Amino acid sequence: MSNVKALPLLEPEAHEAVAPCCPPLTERPFTAEEAERTARMFKALGDPVRLRLFSAVASAEAGEACVCDISDVGVSQPTVSHHLKKLKEAGLLTSERRGTWVYYRVEPSVLAAMSKLLTTTATP
Amino acid sequence: MSNVKALPLLEPEAHEAVAPCCPPLTERPFTAEEAERTARMFKALGDPVRLRLFSAVASAEAGEACVCDISDVGVSQPTVSHHLKKLKEAGLLTSERRGTWVYYRVEPSVLAAMSKLLTTTATP
DNA sequence: TCCCTGGTTCGACATGTGTCAACATAGACG
DNA sequence: CGTCTATGTTGACACATGTCGAACCAGGGA
């Protein structure tokens, strides 16, 4: 449960879904609980708009992106905000307000954790 | 729609979603088209029941699993069938009938492709 | 041949989800 | 203080999705 304590603002909700997740999908059949937890992350990335937002943040130079820089994804501004919230709730992004703007960054452990889920146990 | 009369031909739909997909999420912001294609796969895994089914198939000894071996996931059998169909449509699974039973296996390229999506561009 | 078992499809329903317009809030700046 | 700009929240609505029971198809034996 306790992983990275660096940032000043810590969402308790967000931490639930993150790193301490599950074995690779190919290792053994998932239990209901594991599936529930893991599905939340996949579901968060299962929407084109969210995927574009996440990709925009993940590929940002400084490791973070202002909402104003990534909100050109073809939907209204409230909708962008809604999707960013979903990504935050899923533990994939964190946000921080600095002055006028709000910056989003990728929760560091997430990418590695999800990638590990998809690795094959048999390595040729 | 069109399925009953289909000979051992390959569904063109299924192939669309598979391997030749997209760069890592962290490389650059996804285009709308890339996001649309990729989101389909994540969405397919974004349901707990489907995740359990997929995991059951992916972790099966013989590389394949009979429906009867994996349908104990807490929902009715028609629902299992429905989810397996979704996974097939997303290009994640393939199915084959042998005698009385129907066997599902993981589309080989999928796991590697999705894993690659989640790798960080910096590869040490 | 008839029936039984494994799987899929159909029809219907409740719930969830994406979307927008309108409103609310938080700083910056005069 | 007042106002402007950048985000988030609310309410409403259309549409997609998960679920089940019933009906349906495919093989394998008796």
DSSP designation for A4: -
- A115 near A69, Cβ under 8 Å? no
A100 Cβ within 7 A of any nucleic strand C atom: yes
Tell me the pLDDT of chain A averaged across its residues: 85
Q: Which residue has the higher pLDDT, A117 or B12?
A: A117
Distance from the A2 Cα atom to the nearest Cα atom in chain B, whole angstroms: 23
A84 Cβ within 7 A of any nucleic strand D atom: yes
Q: pLDDT grade, residue A10 (50/70/90)? A: very low
Q: pLDDT grade, residue A119 (50/70/90)? A: confident
Q: Count Cα atoms within 13 angstroms, Cβ side, for A122.
A: 7
What pLDDT is recorded for position B10?
A: 36
- Go through the domains of chain A in sequence order and give each one's CATH number: 23-117 (1.10.10.10)
3-state secondary structure B35-87: HHHHHHHHHHCCCHHHHHHHHHHHCCCCCEEEHHHHCCCCCCHHHHHHHHHHH
Q: pLDDT grade, residue B20 (50/70/90)? A: low
Distance from the B79 Cα atom to the nearest Cα atom in chain A, whole angstroms: 16
Q: Is A91 left (phi over 0), alpha (psi -120 to 50) or beta?
A: left
Tell me the pLDDT of chain B averaged across its residues: 84
Q: How many CB atoms are closer than 10 A to CB B87?
A: 24
Residues 25-54 of chain B within 7 A of strand D, judged by CB, are 43, 46-47, 49-50
- Between CA B53 and CA B84 the distance in angstroms is 7
Q: pLDDT grade, residue A12 (50/70/90)? A: very low
Q: Which residue has the higher pLDDT, A123 or B34?
A: B34
Considering only CB atoms, which residues of chain B are within 8 Å of chain A? 25-32, 35-36, 38-40, 42-52, 54-56, 58-59, 70, 73-74, 106, 111-112, 114-115, 118-120
